[in-house]
Structure 1
Amino acid sequence: MKNKKTSMYVVVPLLIGMSTSSLANALPDDQVQNERAAGTEFFFSDDSEGFQTRKLSAEFLPQYENADHYLGVRASAYQYKAEDWRRDGQKISFIGREIDSATANGWFVDAGIFTQDDHSLFTFDGSYRTALAKKTAIELFANRDWVETKPALDAGTNFTFVGAAVDQGLGEHVTVVGLAGSQFFSDDNRRDHGRIKVIYQPSLDLGLTLQARYRTYQSSKADVAGYYFNPHDYEEGMLAMGWRQRFAGWTTGLTAGFGRETINDDPSQGTRLFELNVQSPVHGSQFIRMNAGYNRSASYSGPDYNYRYIRGEWIISF
């Protein structure tokens, strides 16, 4: 019974490498800019405990320049399933993005109202990144959403996660990224998160990175009635390789990682992470982008919990 949205790999896209937010990387410089766009987005996930999430969205962007510069609205229909249990949800949100593709500085926001069963929640996902020096940048982030497990959704349990991340370049080939944040649950639980990642780029032309990652968190509340995965102490160390390449206008990215995690005082066990990102060139006035991932770690059911997802978006400008 592991809550996907409390995982640092999902909540904090800055630190993932090829993450969910990497879907919105800039389009080719020679694209024709338009004033409006519309599109659709989908998201499917399931895990080894039989919990499934389905999401289908429609987007309208009355102010649109490219994939990193737009304002609009998104309407989403959600469906959660676990054995004979099912829950539907609806969300309407304001979305916006203003990112410099060369530096990754700027902001994005997704703020709206999410209703499921008899519960309604103001949700928010956003960040602001700016340069402090030539090779130093800081990102402030906030995320508020439902805890996505059957008992947590039934109870209307939600969380708010806030924090900051700093990345520091060391020479031309090494970047160090550090993060600190706190996650406040509506059941009075609190998690304090810390993370560091060292990225080594052996060649500036290959699109290849070697990464050493470490993350940890501590929960203030031991008993959450089984609503979500909640160890008091959690640590994970991981070695990962990332590769990003552009071919015939297509942009692809791949990240693979293998690590070890320690939960409370239990013996350590292996973890795995795989992520794939693909974005098409612009064909006329439209493009698609997709990413998929697989994560293996522990949960209440034991050490072999795994989680899989796929997300896609199609946008046409006019």
Structure 2
Amino acid sequence: MGVDYYNILKVNRNATEEDLKKSYKRLSMRWHPDKNPDIKKTEAEAKFKQLSEAYDVLSDPQKRQIYDAYGEEALKSGNVPPRPTSGGATCFHFNPRDADDIFAEFFGGSDGVNGGGRGQSFSRNPHADGTGQPPRKIPPVEKNLSFSLEDLYSGSKRKMKISRTVPDVYGKPTTVEEILIIDIKPGWKKGTKITFPQKGNQDPGTIAGDLIFLVDEKPHAMYKRDGNDLLVNQKISLLDALTGKTLNLTTLDGRLLTISLTDIVKPGYEMVIENEGMPISKEPGKKGNLRINFDVKFPSRLTTEQKSDLRRVLGRS
């Protein structure tokens, strides 16, 4: 078997994708050279690369299948024993991922590209078709994924079960299922792309396509989003518009927001509450504004006495 990737990641041979993620997160933070200046740098670098390689192999169904069946040597050399009906060994190309790239997917990455993808898949020899050209990459697959405004306000994690078609060790199409973890960051907007590299379908002799989820927003019963701001319409009576009112609004994270309305509300009046809008994903700790637009409800009728009282109070003769 050579190197024992399971032992390196401190997981058993039945480890799930979630098990691999948890163990990699814990151990990579412990051994990352930049995170542990007290550890001898050469030792930390070697251990960190080992962890990354183990995670790269075990988190990829094709690489893991070959490693489990034939060991590290066959995986890295690309020489997999043939099927009984074939005449020679099947040749594969092992393309390991960069250790820092894997680490960045867990603890870094830019807005819109923060998926839990695994990157390079295990593919056939780049020149297996005899053309001398590198393998073609399958076009990406894009899917819409709707989230509530509450999820996009506070952030959330969602597990997605996917099925995709990939060639097995002999090139025969086979269906594999995986659980992907989608980590939604507070403040992400509609249209944000979450990319899982090479988690799409794959044909023999090609590189698997990327799987891309596009963030969509579900309509909210109270709030509407405008960039980083939140808009809300509030109906008030003409009396409240003239004399004031205390408003109680429930925020997207469940807080009760008490707002004192003291100004006279005129047609088109908008009240702005700073820092009570959506989180700004690229500026942690900052939020947009809450903008309240008022709809003044006028009475449908007034008695002669009421009209007289209003003329007196408002100073009209």
Q: Normalized against structure 1, the TM-score is what? A: 0.23
> TM-score with structure 2 length normalisation?
0.23
Q: Rg: which structure is higher?
A: 2
Structure with greater proportional helix content: 2
Q: By percentage of residues, which structure has more strand?
A: 1
More relative contact order, 1 or 2 (CA 8 Å, 6+ apart):
1
